[in-house]
A = this chain, B = another copy of it.
Amino acid sequence: MATIADVASYTGLSRATVSRVINDYPHVSKDKRELVHEAMKELGYFPNTSARNLRNRRTNLVAVLIPRLTNPFFTLILDGIEKVAEENGFQLIICQTKSSKKKELEFLNLLQTKQVDGVIFTSIENDWEEIQPYTAHGPIILCNEYHHDATVPMVRLNQVQGSYLGTKHLIERGHKRLAYCMGSTSGLSNDRRKGFFQAVHEAGLEVKSEWIFHDTYTMEDGVKTFNKILSLTERPTAIFTGGDEVAAAMVKEAKRNGLDVPGEMAILGFDDQPIASMIEPELTTIYQPGAEIGGRAMTIFMDCLKGKRDRISQSVMELPLSLVIRKST
């Protein structure tokens, strides 16, 4: 491979001058500039990125932590991040955490070793105190996540408002007994729960503890949970789910059991994924602007890197969720 030294000796100029041409700096005469360009083409020269990174102390790489690539909502976020990254000449390194605390910390190693300029979390597994020390090594942005004591910029969706909206909708449809399915016990889940109970209490309703279900993520979880609900003696008439996959699976299972949706059981989704409008009845769900939140996070990341923005003090940007009423409620 040709190096900058080869180009220099080929043209009879110094490496410094060649470098100036490469980086399009001023103070290089027109003829030398052209000479260098020709030589680069002639020799098949391309600047070595590792060398540049070392010298410039920049890699133009961001690590994006994501639980699973096969989760459409997260790829939507990723898509939003990618768009802004591309506009800024940044590349993304995908880090699939599979929801493992250990893996999450391993990926932060990329930051310490300066393989990436910063990190965007689309979900956090560890406590903030575990993460905090890493903020010394570069910008860390939380996207779609919130930690009360995190000293970094966060872009989040107003989950409280979103679940409040959805729950209120169920109540307005006349439902008095609501089942609630949640995922993990993350900050995000807590917010949804808050919104749910806010609406419930406002309406003066009661939610029995056996109507609350934990760790429902996948379609299989949806089927299982739905059957648990069916077997309850005092059965809820509406279900608040943590995601469209779960909701879709429940709708299907309901039909398999001869239950009318929404007549005998109303089911509310979350995310507004493509599947929501493909199944029958179409899912009423809560739209989360995934691509937008990703884009915002990446924009903030760039501002931090450029020093336009403080990266080690807390800031929160909040986007609203909206209810999409279809046929399942």
Hey, which bits of chain A sit against chain B, CB under 8 A? 1, 46-51, 53-54, 59, 61, 68-70, 72, 75-76, 78-79, 82, 86, 91-96, 109-110, 112-115, 219, 245, 248-249, 252, 255, 274-275, 278-280
Contact = CB atoms under 8 A, between A and B. Distances in A.
Nearest to A107: B91
A79 B70 contact: yes
A248 B278 contact: yes
24 contacts: A1-B114, A46-B113, A47-B113, A48-B54, A48-B114, A49-B59, A49-B110, A49-B114, A50-B53, A50-B115, A54-B54, A68-B79, A70-B72, A70-B76, A72-B72, A86-B96, A91-B95, A91-B110, A92-B94, A219-B274, A252-B278, A275-B275, A279-B279, A280-B280
Contacts of A61: 93
A112 B278 contact: no
Given A69-B82, A278-B275, A51 B54 contact: yes
Given A48-B114, A82-B94, A280-B280, 17 more contacts: A1-B114, A46-B109, A46-B114, A47-B113, A48-B54, A49-B110, A49-B115, A50-B54, A50-B59, A53-B53, A69-B82, A78-B94, A91-B110, A94-B94, A278-B279, A279-B279, A279-B280
Shortest beta-carbon contacts, A-B, top 7: A50-B53, A49-B115, A50-B54, A46-B112, A49-B113, A69-B75, A69-B79
A59 B278 CA distance: 43
B278 A50 contact: no
Contacts of A112: 46
Contacts of A275: 274-275, 278
A72 B73 CA distance: 11
Contacts of A75: 69-70, 75
A301 to B, nearest CB: 16
Nearest to A56: B50
B278 A255 contact: no
Nearest to A103: B86
A92 B110 CA distance: 13
A50 B114 contact: yes
A110 B53 CA distance: 13
Contacts of A252: 278, 280
Contacts of A255: 280
Contacts of A51: 54
Contacts of A69: 75, 78-79, 82
Contacts of A280: 252, 255, 279-280
Contacts of A115: 49-50, 91
A96 B82 contact: yes
